[in-house]
Amino acid sequence: MDVLEVMRGRHSTRAFLDRPVARDTIESILDVARWAPSGVNAQPWQVAVVTGAIKERLSVALLAARVQREPERPDYSYYPKEWIEPYKGRRKASGLALYAALQIAKDDADARLKAWNNNYRFFGAPVGLLFFLDRALSQGSWVDMGMFIENVMLAARAHGLDTCPQASLAEYPDLVRNILGMNESRALVCGMALGHADPSHPVNQYRTAREPVSAFTSWYD
């Protein structure tokens, strides 16, 4: 598959088929992703692959935390406390497109909550990836991690698989670390659903818009 086609074809998938992904396929994806660049070749990424009973245990625990309205305790702030334009408008448009695809009315709070809770079920994907970073590292390593995560998504596409990067899975990092038996020195950056997309599900039919090159590029001669 052409690399440009892979990049254009990547999108966040929110409904997956009940079809397993072989371990050697996951290893192949990570083997390609590890060639992402990093400052002084630090290679700061750490990945936890969760499937089966452990993935189910994580989902149950995360959903319970949400139902009990436990305060979120992320290792960092993914979103701003106050949205400003143009980001506020893009966020709203993205949400409206998602709920329109699911045919959920604006005032249907129960349906919206049910759809949101699918985040913690990895949208039904058979594989979950959790990305961790050593807290001793600085902001540059977070940039490196972003490039690694993008490589994972592109490599998955090349294998005929789809993904959804999920900040929601990092809302309760202590809970995740506890279940995985992981040291607190590792910050949870985000999670990712990985599997075979359900092509018939309406949530996988919509696409978010992208700004043209002219909107974010300045040229200096």
Q: What is the pLDDT of residue 106?
A: 84
Q: What is the pLDDT of residue 56?
A: 98
| Contact predicate 198/17, CB 8 Å | yes
Number of domains in the chain: 1
Over residues 188-210, mean pLDDT: 96
Q: What is the pLDDT of residue 52?
A: 97
Over residues 102-116, mean pLDDT: 91
CA distances to 37, 39, 144, 152, 191 from 147, rounded to whole Å, are 7, 11, 5, 9, 15
Which is it for strands 186-195 and 127-134: parallel, antiparallel or unpaired?
antiparallel
Domain of residue 131 covers: 3-209
Reading the block at residue 111, the tokens are 């349906």
- Asked whether residue 137 is domain-assigned, the answer is yes
For 45-96, the pLDDT digits (tens) are: 999 999 999 999 999 999 999 999 999 999 999 999 999 999 999 999 999 9
Least confident of 22-31, 106-115, 130-139: 106-115
- Asked whether residue 162 is domain-assigned, the answer is yes
Mean pLDDT taken over the chain: 96
pTM of the predicted protein model: 0.95
- Asked whether residue 62 is domain-assigned, the answer is yes
- Asked whether residue 215 is domain-assigned, the answer is no
| Contact predicate 62/173, CB 8 Å | no
- Asked whether residue 60 is domain-assigned, the answer is yes
- Asked whether residue 220 is domain-assigned, the answer is no
- Residue 117 belongs to domain with CATH number: 3.40.109.10
pLDDT of 1 > 90? The answer is: no
For 7-38, the pLDDT digits (tens) are: 999 999 999 999 999 999 999 999 999 999 99
- Asked whether residue 216 is domain-assigned, the answer is no
- Asked whether residue 28 is domain-assigned, the answer is yes
